[in-house]
């Protein structure tokens, strides 16, 4: 079957493309913007990409169009598909019907940490020789690809609460029917489709309703929002993490190693290179979920000692003149605060952190979280905020930290300002959930060439 994917360069739809090709289908696709790492991954897989929404793409005559949630009514290609009555389906529905139906699905939901925790769970299953399939919203360095299809009964998926498609406004994750579900955390986000936190909690309860009685919910025990979700009704055993009665971390050594406990029983000691409370919580959830799939705790702990994290999660993009440039996906104030704090722990108090931020997510563009931005950047020494495409005054929002922040509408001018400020020993932390105009490379090039 030939399928043509609209919105193919999103992390989820790009993963669909890889899985469909591995299943034996001919895959092509299009998107408005084509940028790494997804474009690179797709091209390496031999998947033909078309930039833009030219309605003449119907001339490719695919058997099925698979529609990403980036596509709206008014999109010229989608309008042509509708006018001609051509067959189409959403990405989550295609995945559920063609891949997940026969699998033991391990789904990771939550506002933050989905990609990292999914990657951890997949790696644990891999090290346990269970050869899992997976679809993750990033590229785990241990695998080098964001998605794969295997003959294994196990499939790990990053379970997003964002809506499925313009014609299906349910959250993506209601399609997945997991047997093992991680509820990592739950905050207000996606202000473009959800009016408040309660609306998101309702969607999470829809997910809970799909988990069988012989399944397992691994839930963050310190999140009141998740407690409210489960109090609405739960038909599945629950294990909590982050609390003494459930999975929790013992005392952490300066190098990041910690003991893993389930209640009063020590499960082992995890020695790894990742730092921060958020990563310890992610690890606890992944170990618990993998244990439900039959992987003993000690194997899970040992596997994570070799976990290499995910691209765009505090990824070092290069060093020039003693200045290190990082790339991170952080795009919500909580994630920004966690990322900056994690880097501060890594580099110490004496080193300077130059935070470079693009408020690019729909929630951030709407300005819903702008009041939380200054507090999220407390641990940074300098802040550079790119304002292209914003409908609110970033300088006004950053007024509480005006002494150390600046806003820039021109990307090249911002690069000049960053490189003029940076000195040997500094750490430039770039945070965006998009390509950010290749700013990482521009900073490194200017540092190298003046």
Out of 3.30.450.40, 3.90.190.20, 1.10.645.10, 3.40.630.10, the CATH code matching 315-449 is 3.90.190.20
What is the structure's pLDDT at 339?
85
Structure tokens at 23: 């299943």
d(CA 119, CA 310): 7
Q: What angle do CA 275, 329, 69 make, to 5 degrees?
A: 140
What pLDDT was estimated at residue 333?
Answer: 84
Q: Does the pTM exceed 0.85?
A: no
Per DSSP, the residues of 91-146 read: HHHHHHHHTGGGSEEEEEESSSSHHHHHHHHHHHHHHTT---EEE-SS-BTTTSSS
Instruction: Give the per-residue pLDDT at 269.
Output: 96
Which residues lie below 8 Å from residue 24, measured CB to CB, with a gap of 6+?
none
**Residue 346: what pLDDT?**
81
Domain chopping of the chain, boundaries = 2-91, 99-304, 315-449
Using 50 as the pLDDT threshold, list the residues of the chain that sit under it: none
Enter the CATH code of domain 2-91: 3.40.50.720
pLDDT in tens, 208-245: 999 999 999 999 999 999 999 999 999 999 999 999 99
Render pLDDT for 311-338 as a digit per residue (tens, 0 to 9).
777 788 899 989 999 998 776 788 888 8
Q: What is the largest CA-CA distance in the chain?
A: 63
Q: 313-329: string of b/e by CB count within 10 Å (b at 16+)?
A: bbbebbebeebbbbbbb
- With b for 16 or more beta-carbon neighbours within 10 A and e for fewer, the 366-398 pattern comes to bbbbbeebbebbebbebbbbbbeebeeebeebb
276: left (phi over 0), alpha (psi -120 to 50) or beta: left
389 phi/psi in degrees, rounded to 5: 85, 0
CATH of segment(s) 99-304: 3.40.1190.10
Q: What pLDDT score does 36 carry?
A: 67
Please enumerate in sequence order all residues whose Cβ is within 8 A of that of 4, keeping only pairs 6 or more positions apart, or say none: 27, 28, 29, 30, 57, 60, 62, 64, 65, 66
Q: Is 154 helix (H, G, I), strand (E, B) or coil?
A: strand
Q: Each residue of 261-282: pLDDT tens digit?
A: 999 999 999 999 887 888 999 9
pLDDT score of 160: 92
Burial class (CB in 10 A: 0-12, 13-18, 19+), 449: exposed
- CA–CA separation, 12 and 158 (whole Å): 9
């Amino acid at each position: 079957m030939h399928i043509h994917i609209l919105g193919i360069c999103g992390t989820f739809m790009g993963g669909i493309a890889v899985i469909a090709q591995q299943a034996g289908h001919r895959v092509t696709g299009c998107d408005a913007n084509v940028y790494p790492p997804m474009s690179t991954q797709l091209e390496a897989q031999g998947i033909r990409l078309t930039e833009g929404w030219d309605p003449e793409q119907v001339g490719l005559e695919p058997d099925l169009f698979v529609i990403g949630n980036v596509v709206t009514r008014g999109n010229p290609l989608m309008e042509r598909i509708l006018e001609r009555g051509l067959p189409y389906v959403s990405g989550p529905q295609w995945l559920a019907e063609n891949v997940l139906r026969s699998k033991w699905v391990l789904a990771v939901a939550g506002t933050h940490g989905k990609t990292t925790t999914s990657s951890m769970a997949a790696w644990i299953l891999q090290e346990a020789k269970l050869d899992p399939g997976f679809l993750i919203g990033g590229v785990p360095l241990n695998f080098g690809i964001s998605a794969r299809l295997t003959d294994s009964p196990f499939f790990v998926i990053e379970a997003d609460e964002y809506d499925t498609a313009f014609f299906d406004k349910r959250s993506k994750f209601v399609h997945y029917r997991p047997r093992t579900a991680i509820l990592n955390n739950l905050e207000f986000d996606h202000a473009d489709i959800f009016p408040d936190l309660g609306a998101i909690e309702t969607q999470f309860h829809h997910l809970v309703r799909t988990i069988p009685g012989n399944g397992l919910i691994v839930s963050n025990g310190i999140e009141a929002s998740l407690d409210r979700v489960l109090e609405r009704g739960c038909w599945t055993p629950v294990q909590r993490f982050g609390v003494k009665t459930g999975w929790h971390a013992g005392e952490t050594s300066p190098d990041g190693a910690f003991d893993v406990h389930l209640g009063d029983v020590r499960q082992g000691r995890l020695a790894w290179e990742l730092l921060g409370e958020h990563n310890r919580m992610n690890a606890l959830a992944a170990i618990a979920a993998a244990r439900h799939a039959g992987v003993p705790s000690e194997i899970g702990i040992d596997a994570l000692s070799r976990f290499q994290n995910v691209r765009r999660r505090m990824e070092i993009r290069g060093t020039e003149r003693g200045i290190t440039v990082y790339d991170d996906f952080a795009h919500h104030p909580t994630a920004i605060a966690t990322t900056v704090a994690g880097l501060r722990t890594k580099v110490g108090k004496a080193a300077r952190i130059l935070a470079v931020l693009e408020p690019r997510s729909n929630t951030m563009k709407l300005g819903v979280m702008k009041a939380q931005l200054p507090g999220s950047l407390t641990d940074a020494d300098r802040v550079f905020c790119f304002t292209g495409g914003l409908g609110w005054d970033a300088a006004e929002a950053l007024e509480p930290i005006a002494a150390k922040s600046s806003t820039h509408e021109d990307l090249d001018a911002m690069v000049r300002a960053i490189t003029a400020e940076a000195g040997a020993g500094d750490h430039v932390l770039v945070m965006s959930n998009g390509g950010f105009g290749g700013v990482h490379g521009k900073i490194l090039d200017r540092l190298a060439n003046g």
